[in-house]
Amino acid sequence: MKNKVLLLIEREFEDMEAMYPFYRIQEAGLDVEVVGPSRGIFHGKYGYPLKATSTPSECKIDEVVGIIIPGGHAPDYMRRYPEMVALVKDATAKGLTIGAICHGAQMLIEADVLRGKRATCYMAIKTDLINAGASYEDSEVVVDGNLVTSRFPADLPVFMSTLVGMLKEMQVAA
């Protein structure tokens, strides 16, 4: 049974949008693998450290049920690494559950996986989301197929409740 969720990080991630999912996924009985463009410690906008234990080239996507992309400035840095973008694109193509909150949608935009999808994001990148072919909804959580998106940290409870439910379904189906 697949039991792994990838949490993508880079420097200046939104602390709550990474740490809350990191612990919530573990509480749900799933394993979290923190993935960065390199191994090592990355710090959030407010200084919380999170250690990337693997890189995209080390990930075995066939062992994964989903990916979480937190916001902050991290997605803007992450999308500069083709292997990080390819990981999101590959996971989407395989039908894995993808959760993106706030600026996390920048990775979905870069991976070109939003065309024809309904999604939400932080309002500052709403136009980018629309230009990437998505239909924007101003809701605390939007689900379209295996894609789960939310706007900002205050949406974390409903985002994670929805995401955990979908990940558990993927785990059973795997």
The residues annotated with a catalytic role in the active site are 102-103
Looking at this protein, which amino acid is placed at residue 125? I
Phi, psi (degrees; rounded to nearest 5) at 59: -80, 140
CA distance 57 to 91: 13
Give whole-number Cα distances, 47 to 37, 90, 92, in Å. Answer: 19, 31, 31
Dihedral over alpha carbons 2, 92, 120, 106 (to 10 degrees): 110
Count of all residues that appear for the chain in the document: 174
